[in-house]
A and B are shown apart, each in its own frame.
Chain A
Amino acid sequence: MKQRTLLKLAWQSILKNKMRTMLTMLGIVIGVGAVIVMIAVGNGAQSQIESSISSLGTNLIVVSPGATAQGGVSQGAASFNRLTTADAEQLKLDGTTLAAVSPVIQTRAVVIGPAGNWRTSINGVSPDYFTIRNWSVSSGDLFDDTDVKAARKIALLGATVANSLFPGVDAVGAQIQIGHVPFTVSAVLEAKGQSATGTDQDDVVLMPYTTAQNRLSGNVRLGQILVSTFSPGDIPAAQSEITDIMRNSHRLGDSPDDFTVANQTQIAAAATSTTSVMSGLLAAIASISLVVGGIGIMNIMLVSVTERTREIGIRMAIGARGSDVLTQFLVESVVMSIMGGIGGLVAGYAGALILGHFTGWSTAVPVSAVFIAVGFSAGVGVFFGYYPARKAAALNPIEALRYE
């Protein structure tokens, strides 16, 4: 039989039992819909994490102090800090794949403003820092290399700090005190929101690293050096280049690295692997309802085969082979389940939107959901339609014709 004839036949049979078919399809609609909603939730969570990781900076590489060992016992990360501003300057000078390099001097201090005080992190950085972290100001100006050289006492306030010290007022130009040292607010930074780990990225004050070193921390050691590359493809090359330059300038010889180089993809991979396990688990639970829907199809197809025993007998008497009957019933169950799958796609998409609207979760239905919906439902149709179809094909034409 031609494919078109088979499809027409399946369609006619579905039309003859509209209510029954719709109820059966509902099982698949719910199953596919549930899977899609779960995928959308998992996918949304993942893309949220990815975007918050990329808010850390573009093509970011983090150089941090390494671990040391005394008598074979590791002292843990950052136990032996030999990172200096000289390292940062060396990387900036020698690096060929490095687009921007900024030392980061980290300390904490109380910031006193006209409306009160606020304890926060102080980061001493270079102008490259703003490129690396893709950060701009909401008012005021960034500083440049002359400000670094002059170690000017200027401070750039994160949005959280600006809101607490200058509620409702533009802070630019105002005087503040950071650890007894007077500073001029030169800019308020754009709000960046929470980081992937949940810390407030706007609860910070930035200033030239020379100022931070001279006026506040008094420490020549750096918390970390941030580096960005020109493109994501440069990251591996840049990592080995950084390692070479650092080993060279630290004169390490055969000793192990006294620093660690990590890139953003590694950080991202760790964070996303957790969510992908979660979303996989959710989808697996949802797919149970798809199996239940499939059992519904099998049930109704078995009823249909019994009801249509006589029809099967007629078809066989006039020359239908067993395989013709098998195909006919299989096409019918597959058409039914694919229709359910398409319905489930629509229901799942709507469900994801509604869920996102009421819970505030970010949900995203991926394009692959279309293939998942159609593929899975077709698979269910074949799997659960095969047994009833085979039963129909195995009927004896004489008995089938006599069936009342």
Chain B
Amino acid sequence: MIAADETAAARAVIEVTGVTKVYTMGTNKVFALRGVDLTVRAGDMVCIMGSSGSGKSTLMNVLGCLDVPTSGHYLLDGIAVEGLDRDALADLRNQKLGFVFQGFNLLARTSAVENVELPLLYDREKRWTDPRKLAVEALGRVGLGERLDHQPSELSGGQQQRVAIARALVTQPTILLADEPTGNLDSHMTVEVMALFQELNAQGITIVIVSHEPEVAMYAKRVVEVRDGQIIHDDPVTERHDAAADLLALGKIDPVLVTDAQPVPVAAA
């Protein structure tokens, strides 16, 4: 359960040790996580995989400080998360994390730039002086500099997800957490979004993606597989795909055929 060798020297931004999560449903106890150890170092791009009910969503919620573990320790960028109250968790999410969701989760009838500047407005440390300028920059970074005033309903799914990514990036978070980011996208848009993630990762942003799609995993540096609330595999990706190159190839041929023809390298050894 230790990070891959090539990133071992980097600072650990996520350190999870012995984390369990138990939900009590009436008299039944559901063990969503049964002792998870995971370390993510700065600059890594991790894909957490698992089928539904495997506990990966619970792990995501714990990593995202939306939920607190029943037992175990979680250090996020050196800060102990267990025992923090709601307000402290909210501040931590605002300062350390950027979220990208499956359903995009943009505010409806609100322009792209207003969506992106939203997290800056909730900052309590007064780190930002000009939220609008930063939001415009972030949208430029995801290639939507021309669509600042478009509302979500006027954007394609891929564009909406890029707005969501810009919103996650705008606070310069320690980690970008993506929960099934391509779940609502077709294969062409999936590759598009993964190309963006790879580009951002190359710029030094640590990314954790939760997904059950093998196509997503092949673009990550490392794949962690969760089953029954435990990590069963944690391996570096050997044949990592370059999404930008795939996108170029897709541009020439029918995207659907190409995706179907792709080999499916899974991390499972």
Contacts and interface: CB of A to CB of B under 8 A. Distances in A.
Given A320-B122, A321-B87, A397 B66 contact: yes
B246 to A, nearest CB: 30
A314 interface: yes
B122 A314 contact: no
Contact of B122 (A311, A313, A315): A315
Contact of B119 (A16, A310, A319, A321): A319
A385 to B, nearest CB: 21
Interface in B125-145: none
Given A320-B90, A321-B90, A5 B66 contact: no
> Which of B119, B121, B123: most chain A CB closer than 10 A?
B121
Contacts of B171: 319
A96 interface: no
Contacts of B122: 1, 315, 318-321, 324
Given A397-B66, A398-B67, A314 B90 contact: no
A319 B105 contact: no
Contacts of A316: 90
Interface stretch (B36-44, B94-102, B204-212, B248-256): B94-102
A321 B99 contact: no
A346 interface: no
A322 B87 CA distance: 7
Contact of A318 (B61, B87, B167): B167
Given A320-B122, A321-B87, A314 B107 contact: yes
B109 A318 contact: no
Given A310-B105, A314-B107, A319 B64 contact: no
A267 interface: no
Interface in A321-366: 321-324
A338 B260 CA distance: 59
B95 A319 contact: yes
A317 interface: yes
A321 B119 CA distance: 11
A401 interface: yes
B95 A323 contact: no
A319 B90 contact: yes
A21 B121 CA distance: 26
Interface string A230-269: 0000000000000000000000000000000000000000
Nearest to B107: A311
Contacts of B101: 317, 401
Given A314-B105, A321-B86, A1 B91 contact: no
A314 B93 CA distance: 12
B64 A317 contact: yes
A398 B61 contact: yes
> Which of A5, A316, A321, A398: most chain B CB closer than 10 A?
A321
Contacts of A401: 66, 101, 105
B118 interface: yes
Nearest to B99: A317
A18 to B, nearest CB: 13
A65 B109 CA distance: 82
A323 B91 CA distance: 12
A322 B122 CA distance: 11
Nearest to A1: B121
A181 B66 CA distance: 105
A311 B108 CA distance: 9
Nearest to A394: B86
Interface in B143-162: none
Contacts of B91: 319, 321
A245 to B, nearest CB: 76
Contacts of B121: 1-2, 5
Given A5-B121, A323-B87, A317 B66 contact: yes
Nearest to A16: B109
Contacts of A1: 121-122
A319 to B, nearest CB: 2
A316 B171 CA distance: 15
Interface of B: 61, 64, 66-67, 86-87, 90-91, 93-95, 99, 101, 105-110, 118-119, 121-123, 167, 171
11 contacts: A1-B122, A314-B105, A314-B107, A318-B93, A318-B99, A318-B122, A318-B167, A319-B90, A323-B87, A397-B66, A398-B66
Given A1-B121, A317-B99, A318-B93, 6 more contacts: A314-B105, A319-B91, A319-B123, A321-B90, A321-B122, A398-B61
Interface of A: 1-2, 5, 12, 16, 310-311, 313-324, 397-398, 401
